Structure 1
Amino acid sequence: MVTENESKQRLHLVFGGELTSLKSVDFRDLSALDIVGIYPDYASALTAWRGKAQATVDNAAMRYFIVHMHRLLDPELS
């Protein structure tokens, strides 16, 4: 149980893959998606996202995303 002094977890998923087109978010190969990880807060997720995005900067079709899982799990929690 979360007390008033503790903040709720706000889980974020970082993942990416190569897109079929720069104008869409359709992935070329779903089996090759890079699931970077699940992070307890946005700051941690952003650090992981930034590292992966910078490491793949030479591949214009490669994109990484941050999914706000806490919004999916509890839509009233924003």
Structure 2
Amino acid sequence: MMEEQKPKQLLHLVFGGELDDLQSVDFKDLDNLDIVGIFPDYASALAAWRSKAQQTVDNAAMRYFIVHMHRLMDPDKQ
């Protein structure tokens, strides 16, 4: 009998906020960052990012980002 292997967790954080200047990644108000969540893989993080980006399409200064947390947690394993 073969053991079922769980998929490897590659954690990703999705967050966003309004930028001070569209040429930088400095946020207007750090207290009002929108922390969308932490996701177990890139595909689910991308789906959440797309949803939030679509919801805020009318605000040109609003930006959402995906952070590859797994790379920060274990930088030797890229």
Partner of 1:71 in structure 2?
71
Q: Structure 2: which amino acid aligns with 1:34? A: D
1:57 maps to 2:57:
yes
Give the drift of 1:77: 2.2
**How many Å separate the matches in 2 of 1:54 and 1:7?**
29
Number of aligned pairs? Answer: 76
Deviation by residue 1:21-54 (Cα, 9 ceiling, x = unmatched): 0000000000000000000000000000000001
| TM-score, scaled relative to structure 2 | 0.91
Q: Structure 2: which amino acid aligns with 1:44? A: S
**How many Å separate the matches in 1 of 2:7 and 2:44?**
15
Partner of 1:24 in structure 2?
24
| TM-score, scaled relative to structure 1 | 0.91
Quick one: percent identity of the two aligned structures?
Answer: 75
Structure label with greater radius of gyration: 2
**How many Å separate the matches in 1 of 2:46 and 2:68?**
11
SS at the partner of 2:65?
strand
CA-based RMSD: 1.6
What residue ranges of structure 1 are gaps of 5+ in the alignment? none
Q: Which runs of 4+ in 1 moved over 4 A?
A: none
